Structure 1
C-alpha cells in the first residue's frame, strides 16, 4: 500500500474525492459548496525547481495526492501508468501526474511548465513544475515570473549542483523573496542528519554570495511523504514545519502589492458608444477610489477617477490584482500602453536603463540589434547597447562579455526608441520586468528586470535648432537620401557606389560616400568581424548617415551589412522614401573568382574567421528597392540606372 493511501473502499463509480468532498457528477450542490468554501482564501503561486531528477514532479504529485485533489479515474490511470513504467509493487509514480507530455514520460524528464491547482483548509495554491535540464531554463523563467515562492529541490545524494545554483540565481533575479530549500530523497541516505546539515550549509554559503536572504530548509522524501504533509518518524531530529505548513503560512506578494502606490497599465480603451470612454487594465499595485487624483504617464497629465466599472457593477475601490475599467473626470489623451498612477507618487519615465537579462534563444544576443521590448502593456523597439558583465552562476563572478548565448545571464544597458513608464523590479514586477522579442520570428529571446534609469537618460535632451532639415535640403536643391549598397565582398558595391557619386557630383549634387573599409580605419577601428561587431558597425554607420542626411546630403553607404535586421533598423531611422536599399548581387562563386583582395582565399584557408559567405551568413534582401546583377550589367550601366532612379528621371 503506497504511503498516504487510505485502506477504505473506493467510492462508488462516478464519484471522486475533491478537496475532502465526495462529489458526484450529479451533485451540483456539493460542487458549489466546494467552490464557495475556497473562493475567499488567499492564493499562493509557487514553483519547484532544481537539477534533473531531484524529484520536482514527484513532490507535486505527492502534494496533489495528500491534499485529496486526485479524482478516482485519474488515480486508477496513474496506478496503471506506474505499473507500465516499472514502479515496484503497489507504489505510485507521482511524477506521472504532472509529466503530461509523451516525450516527458518517455524520457523521464520535465520539458514543459506544468501548472496544477490544489487547496488546503487554509490556502489555495497554483504550482508550476519547471524543467531541470539546462536546455529548458527558459521554461523555468516562465514559471518563476509570477511566483511568490520557490521550492529549490536538492537530491540528498548529490548535493548542490550547477543547475541548483542557476535556478536559485534566476529565482532571486525574478524577485522571488521566499525560498524553501527542500533536501529530497532523504530516505536514500538513511535519513542522515549530517548529510542534510552539510547540504544546507553549502547552499546557504552560496545564497549569501548572490544576495538571497532568509532560506527555509526542510528535509523531505517526496516518494514516502516525509515532512510534506505529515511529519517524518525517521527524521524526528527535525523540528521545523512540514512543507505544507510552510506553504500555508508564508507571506505572499499580493499583500505587499496592495500597500504600494496605485498603478494600472492600460490594456484597452473601452469605447462601446459615444457616451462611455473607459480605460481597462489589471491593477498592478496599490488601491484607488473615485475622486482620487491620478497621473497619466508618460504624458504626465493629471486628472481624477470618476468611476470604477466592472461587469458586476461599480466599485468603491480598486485594489492590486483586480481587473477594472476606470473612467476619468477629464478628457485626457490616454491609450493602450499608458499607465494610470497615483498623482502624488508616479513611476519614472526614461528611455535608457540598466537591467539584468537572461538570454533564452539558441541564436546569440547581438548588442545593437533592435528587438521588441514588452513591459506590462507597453511595446517598443529597443536594443542592448552594452554588456556591462556576464554572471557566472556558480561563483557569482562578473565576467567580461560582448554577447550572450543560450541561458547566459548578464547586466546590460538597454535603450528604447521612445521613453517608457517603469519602476525597478524590486518595486514592481509588472513595470520592472520585460521580455525581448525577435522582430522577424516573433519568438521571445530574452527576459529581464530593470534596475534603474541611466543618469544620461535623465540629463540628455534634444536641443532645439533654428535651421531645419528641410531648409538645409532646399539650400542644396536636392532631396536627402541614403543609398545603401549591400552584397557579398567582391560583388562590386564600392566600385558602383564610387561611380554613382561621380555622376551626382557632375550634376551638381551634394553627396558623401561612406565605404566599409574606410570607416573601419577611423570611426569603427575598434570593431572586429564577429556577428556582434558587425551589428554595432552598421548601427554606427546608420547614425552617421542620418546626421549627414539631416545636413541635406545624398549619402552613399557601401557595406556588406549581412543581416536583414540591421538593414531594417537603419531603414527605420529615415522618413519614407529616403532609404534606398540596393542589392549588388553576385553569386558566391563569382565573387570568390574575382577576389581582388585575396580575402576569400584567406577565409578558405582558415586565416580569416567570420568571413561573410564562408563561415558567416549573408541574408539577401527580400524587398530591395534596386537589384543590380553584376554578372549581367556593367558597373557603368548600374550606376546610370541608380542615378536615374533616385533623381526620378525616365530610364
Structure 2
C-alpha cells in the first residue's frame, strides 16, 4: 500500500500557495477532465487576462475568488505513482491565522512559501513557529515568484540564509529550500532550465520521497477512552482510537488516572474479535475485571504517562479577547474536557527573534508560555511523545469558541507536592450544625445600583430568621485581602477569583455568604460560579446606568466623566449584563423594603 503524506501550504497573503498546488495538480495530470475544463473556463474571467489561474482549483469560496486570497482551509486528496497525499491549503492573512493553525495540527510536513521579491517577512516567521509548535518536523521553504527576479541565484541564497537563521532552534528535523514559480511551473513537478544552479529535487518528487515516519515513541500502547460500551449486563468495553503502540489479548494495561491494572480479555475491531490491534485503529477493549474508567481516561502500557492538575503549556492565542491571568476556560486534552484557569503568563515569544518577552496580557495570534491549573487530575504526555494526549485547546466558557491551541510542556512540581488534606469535620456536618444550606449570594451590578445596600438589608433579614451569614463587600475587601490589586482587567479578574475562593471557604464553614461586587465580566462571574459550585446564586441588580449616575453617592461617576478615574465600569470600561441570573431586581422600580422582601422570598426557594 502507498504511504500517505499529510502536508500544508502556508505563508503570507498572495505568496502563491493556492497557485502552487493548483499548478502541481495540473502539470502532474491529477485532475479529472471536467475539472480541467472548468478551470480553463473559469480562468477566462479570472485575474490573469485569460491565462490559466491555477489558484481557482483550491479557492472555492466566492469571497476568496473576489479578493484573490485564501480564507478557509481547502483540503485536496491526490495520488501519484509513488505516494498518496492530503494537502491543506491554508490562508495567509493574519486575520485567519487560527485557520492556518487548524491545518498545521493535522500535518506531517509544511510547505512555507515566500515571495522572492519580498523575502522572509513577519507572517513567514509566525507560520514557521506555529508549524514547530504543532509538531511539524519537516519544512519545505518554497521561494516563489523566481520569474519576477530573473531567477537570481544570489537573491535566492539570501532568502535561504535568512530563513535558516530564523528557524535555528525550532528543533525541526529537516528543512529543504526550493526555488519555484507557481505561475510558470518552475521546479514544481520537473527541474527547470531557468535554475540550472539549483541541484536539489523539484517540489513534487521531493514530497514523494521524503520519509516523515517517526516510530521512536510508538513502543507503548496508548488509547484515550472515547466511550464506555455497555450493550447488556454481560459486556463492558472501552472504545477509542489507538494513538500509539500495539496491544494483544492477554496484555496488561494501566488505567489512568485511577492507576489500576488489568489484563485484556478481548479486542474488537468494529464487531470482529481480533487478537492484536495497532496504531490508528478504532477498537473496543474488554478487560478481565471491573475498573474505574470513563470517557477521558486513558488505557496504556506505559509507566511514564503523567497525571496532574497543573502544567506548563505553550499556546497560540486565537481569540479576539485578550488573555489575562486568572481567566477560566474549558481545557480539552485527548478526550477529556475539564474547567481550567490560566494561573500565570510566564512570557510571550517574539515572532521575529524567538526571544522570551515579559507580558501580563496576550493578544490575538501571539505565542505564549503559561501555567494552567485544572479542576481535577488529567492524563497527559509530552507532546513530543504523543500528540493525542500532549496537545490541548482552550474553549471560552461563554461563547464556546476555541480561544487557543497548544502543547503541554511539563507538569508543575507543586501539583504532586501539594496534596489535599481531608478533615474529619466536613462541610455537611457544619451545615447540619447550623441548620441551614450554605449558599453564595452573588450580588452584581453597576456602581450606584444599590447592590451593597440591598445585600446589607438581605443579610439583616436572614439573620433575623436565624440564619448564619457573612457579607463580603467589594470596597471592604479591597482594604485588606485585595489591597494589592488595582482596577486593570487582570486585577479585576484576580479580585473576583479570590472572592470566589473565599466564598467557597465560607460555604465550607456552613455559612450563607453574601458578596457585593460590580464583577463586570461575564467570564469572571462564570469562573466564580465554577469555583463555588451548585451553591452559587447570581443576583443581578439591574438598575439602569442613568439612575446609577444620577445617584452617584460616592461622586465616582463625576470623577470618571472628568477623566480622573480610568477603567470605570459604565463609563470607560464595559459592564457585561448577566445572561441568565437566578434573581434580578431593579432598585429604581421598588423601595428598599420591597426589593429586600422580593430578593429574600426568591432566596428562600434555594434554602428550602
Partner of residue 597, structure 1: 554
Partner of residue 298, structure 2: 339
- Aligned residue among 235, 259, 278 for 2:237: 278
Partner of residue 286, structure 2: 327
**Following the alignment from structure 1 to structure 2, what is the Cα–Cα distance between the partners of residues 499 and 491?**
14
**Following the alignment from structure 2 to structure 1, what is the Cα–Cα distance between the partners of residues 209 and 85?**
12
Task: Identify which range, 496-505 or 218-227, moves more after superposition.
Answer: 496-505
State whether structure 2 residue 315 is matched by structure 1 residue 354. Answer: no
Q: What are the within-5 Å matches in structure 2 for residues 452-601 of structure 1? A: 452-505=410-463, 509-574=467-532, 576=534, 578-601=535-558
Answer yes or no: is the 8 Å Cα contact 1:437–1:444 preserved in 2: yes
Q: CA deviation at 1:441?
A: 2.2
**Following the alignment from structure 2 to structure 1, what is the Cα–Cα distance between the partners of residues 406 and 289?**
36
Answer yes or no: is the 8 Å Cα contact 2:398–2:522 preserved in 1: no
Partner of residue 217, structure 1: 177
Partner of residue 98, structure 2: 138
State whether structure 2 residue 373 is matched by structure 1 residue 405. Answer: no
- Aligned residue among 39, 59, 66 for 1:99: 59
Q: What are the within-5 Å matches in structure 2 for residues 217-256 of structure 1? A: 217-253=177-213, 255-256=215-216
State whether structure 2 residue 296 is matched by structure 1 residue 316. Answer: no
**Following the alignment from structure 1 to structure 2, what is the Cα–Cα distance between the partners of residues 333 and 109?**
51
State whether structure 2 residue 569 is matched by structure 1 residue 608. Answer: no
- Aligned residue among 138, 157, 160 for 1:197: 157
What do you get for the CA RMSD once the two structures are aligned? 2.2
State whether structure 2 residue 24 is matched by structure 1 residue 67. Answer: no
**Following the alignment from structure 1 to structure 2, what is the Cα–Cα distance between the partners of residues 62 and 647?**
71
Name the CA shift for 1:255/1:98 in 2 (closer, same or farther; >3 Å): farther
State whether structure 2 residue 397 is matched by structure 1 residue 439. Answer: yes
Q: Which runs of 4+ in 1 moved over 6 A?
A: none
Partner of residue 14, structure 1: none
**Following the alignment from structure 1 to structure 2, what is the Cα–Cα distance between the partners of residues 86 and 546?**
63
Q: CA deviation at 1:363?
A: 1.9
Answer yes or no: is the 8 Å Cα contact 1:353–1:450 preserved in 2: yes
**Following the alignment from structure 1 to structure 2, what is the Cα–Cα distance between the partners of residues 305 and 649?**
48
**Following the alignment from structure 1 to structure 2, what is the Cα–Cα distance between the partners of residues 539 and 158?**
47
**Following the alignment from structure 1 to structure 2, what is the Cα–Cα distance between the partners of residues 625 and 410?**
37
Q: Give CA-to-partner distance per residue, 1:352-407, whole Å, 9 cap, x none.
A: 11001111122222432322212221111112111111112112232222222221
Partner of residue 87, structure 1: 48
State whether structure 2 residue 121 is matched by structure 1 residue 164. Answer: no
Answer yes or no: is the 8 Å Cα contact 1:486–1:561 preserved in 2: yes
- Aligned residue among 124, 144, 158 for 2:84: 124
State whether structure 2 residue 338 is matched by structure 1 residue 380. Answer: yes
State whether structure 2 residue 3 is matched by structure 1 residue 42. Answer: yes
- Give the secondary-structure state (helix, strand or coil) at the position aligned to 1:571: helix
State whether structure 2 residue 588 is matched by structure 1 residue 631. Answer: yes
Q: Give CA-to-partner distance per residue, 1:185-218, whole Å, 9 cap, x none.
A: 1111111110011001111111115444542111
Partner of residue 268, structure 1: 227
**Following the alignment from structure 1 to structure 2, what is the Cα–Cα distance between the partners of residues 612 and 638?**
24
Name the CA shift for 1:518/1:274 in 2 (closer, same or farther; >3 Å): same
State whether structure 2 residue 137 is matched by structure 1 residue 177. Answer: yes
**Following the alignment from structure 1 to structure 2, what is the Cα–Cα distance between the partners of residues 54 and 126?**
21
Answer yes or no: is the 8 Å Cα contact 1:67–1:119 preserved in 2: no
Partner of residue 293, structure 1: 252
**TM-score where L is the length of structure 2:** 0.95
- Give the secondary-structure state (helix, strand or coil) at the position aligned to 2:504: helix
Question: 5+ residue gaps in structure 2?
Answer: none
**Following the alignment from structure 1 to structure 2, what is the Cα–Cα distance between the partners of residues 518 and 214?**
60
Q: Give CA-to-partner distance per residue, 1:239-268, whole Å, 9 cap, x none.
A: 1122122212222246455x3311011112
**TM-score where L is the length of structure 1:** 0.89
Answer yes or no: is the 8 Å Cα contact 2:312–2:370 preserved in 1: yes
How many residues are aligned here? 608
Answer yes or no: is the 8 Å Cα contact 2:270–2:282 preserved in 1: no
Partner of residue 32, structure 1: none
Q: Give CA-to-partner distance per residue, 1:454-481, whole Å, 9 cap, x none.
A: 1111111111212112232334344322
Q: CA deviation at 1:641?
A: 4.3
Name the CA shift for 1:203/1:495 in 2 (closer, same or farther; >3 Å): same
Question: 5+ residue gaps in structure 1?
Answer: 1-39
